Amino acid sequence: MTRAKVFAFERNDPSEESLHWLRDRGVEVALGKPMWEKGFKRFSDDEIIAAAQGFDGVIGASGANFNRRVIDALPRLKYIAKFGVGVDSIDVPYATEKGILVANTPVDSQAAPVSEHAIAMMLALRKRLTQWTPAFMAAGGWRADIFCDVIAGSTVGIVGLGRIGAGVARRLVAWEVTLLAYDPFLRQAPAGVELCSLDRLLAESDVVTLHAAPTPENRHLIDAAALARMKRDAILINTGRAWLVDYPALRAALVEGRIGGAGLDVFETEPPDPADVLFTLNNVVVSPHSATWSLSGVMKVGWCAARNMWAMISGEGEAAIVNPDARNNAKI
């Protein structure tokens, strides 16, 4: 068998032990951009086409789009090992048609940190930690007319009850909150959670947290109309995908005071524009798509992606393949 060539177009684990492991198995691994370095930027289509030429497989996160144009321009490509669960940066149906296997990394180490991150953002906003800052105190600020809120007694609406949404619910059950959830794929909710319509969830929730998968049907699920249905003091948390939110509509709602605040870990363009108005508002808490960004977490994701790649190349072991039908069209 010809030695397989893999391009780690993004690297998420500074130890790179998983990539060394692939090399030990005879895979030729080329290194791309380290995601931990300052100034990290996504690849344009032309950049990823140029960089990934001649490789059988690629490993990385969402820093490159594998759309039809890119896939067609990479005739040798057979395997994509994606960091993370979401594969919205990949045209999976077209990859399947072209015989390209796509795997993701549904490791438990990702669900817990994102669940915790969403709750941390809820607390930061409800407790006014975006206003009671060191700069505020250094300028002589004190409590004044800023009043914090509590989670207890409030209603939290969870959009999407997969591993992360369910993790949020499980953690909040003991917090004396009412838990509503919208998930059209579920018929029964976990204990302590009531399934309901999206309209009801938006109208009754004090906090709305997004954990739905980015499908074509839910693009801009939270648009201007959805934001208008929320309470005026409600907050929106998005640690899921930017795909789910109409960000221009969200900016307008926040600036005009039509919702109470937002906690955002994901953005339409990443990294986002430093001049974004979101970064000037004291009812917004943000983080740089870092909900899963712990060293132990990224190491586990890196190992899962490497093992996925080896399983796809060699047939040894199991890979978390999202499009097994691609085998029917596999390239020789």
Q: Can you tell me the distance from the alpha carbon of 280 to that of 297, in angstroms, rounded to the nearest whole number?
A: 31
Which of 126, 211, 241, 307 does the annotation list as catalytic?
A: 241
49-72 pLDDT tens trace = 999 999 999 999 888 999 999 999
Residue 7's SS3 state is strand
Which of 117, 126, 211, 289 does the annotation list as catalytic?
A: 289
Pick the closest to residue 290 from 105, 81, 116, 34 (CA basis): 116
Q: Can you tell me the distance from the alpha carbon of 24 to that of 323, in angstroms, rounded to the nearest whole number?
A: 27
pLDDT at 212: 94
Which of the residues in the chain have pLDDT under 70?
A: 1-2, 39, 331-332
| Domains of the chain listed by start with CATH number | 5-107+294-329 (3.40.50.720), 131-282 (3.40.50.720)
8 A C-beta contact, residue 268 and residue 216: no
- Looking at residue 162, its amino acid is G
Q: Can you tell me the distance from the alpha carbon of 305 to that of 302, in angstroms, rounded to the nearest whole number?
A: 5
pLDDT at 214: 84
- Looking at residue 312, its amino acid is M
Which residues of the chain form beta strands (DSSP E)?
5-11, 28-34, 57-60, 79-82, 101-103, 155-159, 178-182, 193-195, 207-210, 235-238, 261-264, 284-286
Q: Is 241 a catalytic residue?
A: yes
Please spell the DSSP secondary structure of 85-132, one letter per residue.
Answer: S--TTB-HHHHHHTT-EEE----HHHHHHHHHHHHHHHHHHHTTTTTS
CB burial of residue 287 (10 Å; 0-12, 13-18, 19+) = middle
pLDDT at 42: 82
Q: Is 194 a catalytic residue?
A: no
Q: Is 289 a catalytic residue?
A: yes
Phi, psi of 53 (to 5 degrees): -60, 135
Q: Is the pTM of this model over 0.85?
A: no
pLDDT at 143: 85
Q: Can you tell me the distance from the alpha carbon of 229 to that of 231, in angstroms, rounded to the nearest whole number?
A: 7
